[in-house]
Amino acid sequence: MTMIYRKKTYKIDPSKYELFNEFFHTYLYPNQIKNGSTLIGRWVNESRDKIEAIWEYENIEQYEMIEEKIKESELHQKAKKRRGEIGELFKESEQEFLTSTSPIGTYDSPKQILSVCTRERI
């Protein structure tokens, strides 16, 4: 099975970094996880003006189904209300979908590690 990955990038005002993180952990992350998304990782650059997250899905249909569930959820409605209260959290956002360039399992760590020691004869 070929998984797809969604890379979501937010450009933010560094002064809103903490507020953005709070919003993400209170509303966005729980709603995504509850509805079936898998977060691979989330990063911020050194100047704290760009945050990127990578999410994993089985296919584009799963992503679309999850997004529909999220839009219908109570937590999404609470998030919209909170966004209205706190104002702009980010300057812009963009997303793109990615697929792996390698066969499945190519970059997995080995299951066993073997160490060999030889004795030198004098």
Q: 32-87: per-residue pLDDT in tens?
A: 999 999 999 999 999 999 999 999 999 999 999 999 999 999 999 999 999 999 99
Domain boundaries, the chain: 4-99
Name the CA dihedral angle for 74, 65, 4, 48, rounded to a multiple of 10 degrees.
Answer: -20
**CATH code of the domain made up of 4-99:** 3.30.70.100
Instruction: Identify whether the C-beta of residue 94 lies closer than 8 Å to the C-beta of residue 1.
Output: no
- At a CB cut-off of 8 Å and minimum separation 6, what does 35 contact? 66, 69, 70, 73
- Mean pLDDT taken over the chain: 91
